[in-house]
Chains A and B, each alone.
Chain A
Amino acid sequence: SAVISQKPSRDICQRGTSLTIQCQVDSQVTMMFWYRQQPGQSLTLIATANQGSEATYESGFVIDKFPISRPNLTFSTLTVSNMSPEDSSIYLCSVRTSGRGETQYFGPGTRLLVL
């Protein structure tokens, strides 16, 4: 199993500012992802955080807006840059564990409100 923590758990930010979200996993994992869940909606994959190299972004998401770091196998950050009210969402870190029975785990999420 994997236990994931995220900081901050929630924040209220002013438009035009940036927020960095941290994700810490209690074990080394190869696969690490960032998802967004807009209010009352489903989850959308933002990017795959790659250790030691640039993140891989999904269609509609760019590095300038959502820079990601992954310095090691247990930690990653997602920055939401130059925020607008449309960025108000829950941002979730997720990891996939391998071995007997692959399982995907989600962190508790960071609830972001942009005013």
Chain B
Amino acid sequence: GQQVMQIPQYQHVQEGEDFTTYCNSSTTLSNIQWYKQRPGGHPVFLIQLVKSGEVKKQKRLTFQFGEAKKNSSLHITATQTTDVGTYFCARGSNYKLTFGKGTLLTVNP
């Protein structure tokens, strides 16, 4: 499937700082999904975005889907140590997922 580019690859923040990871595609996405993988764990589904310009919030997490449906972002407000992990975006096509390379977030307490 078509790749999705995810940046940054790594992000280290102080606890309380905000964090954003970005996902970009050269082609239009039918949907974009976000996953979190804790160190040593497996990916856990966070959300799926389908509509152009969609914005969804889960507590301190804000997910956006671009108007052109070619990019998406995940923003965490006031990070906590429990936010540590790798955040992956994944494009969905015919129920198959193509994952970005992920952004590893570390949080200094």
Contact = CB atoms under 8 A, between A and B. Distances in A.
A and B: partners? yes
Interface of A: 31, 33, 41-45, 48, 58, 92, 94, 96, 101-109
Contact of A41 (B33, B42, B97, B101): B101
B88 interface: yes
Contact of B96 (A42, A45, A92, A107): A45
Nearest to B104: A40
Contacts of A101: 48
Given A31-B95, A33-B96, A96-B95, A42 B42 contact: no
Interface residues of B, number: 17
B86 to A, nearest CB: 9
A31 to B, nearest CB: 5
Interface string B42-56: 111100100000000
A2 to B, nearest CB: 10
A106 B88 CA distance: 13
A43 B100 CA distance: 8
Among A41, A94, A102, the most chain B Cβ lie within 10 Å of the Cβ of A102
Contact of A105 (B45, B88, B101): B45
A43 B88 contact: yes
A96 to B, nearest CB: 6
Q: Which 9 A-B pairs have the closest CB atoms?
A: A106-B42, A42-B99, A43-B99, A42-B101, A106-B43, A109-B42, A31-B95, A103-B45, A108-B42
A44 B45 CA distance: 16
A78 B65 CA distance: 35
B98 interface: yes
Given A31-B95, A108-B42, 13 more contacts: A41-B101, A42-B88, A42-B102, A43-B43, A43-B88, A43-B99, A44-B99, A45-B98, A58-B96, A102-B48, A104-B33, A104-B45, A109-B42
Contacts of A31: 95
Contacts of A105: 45
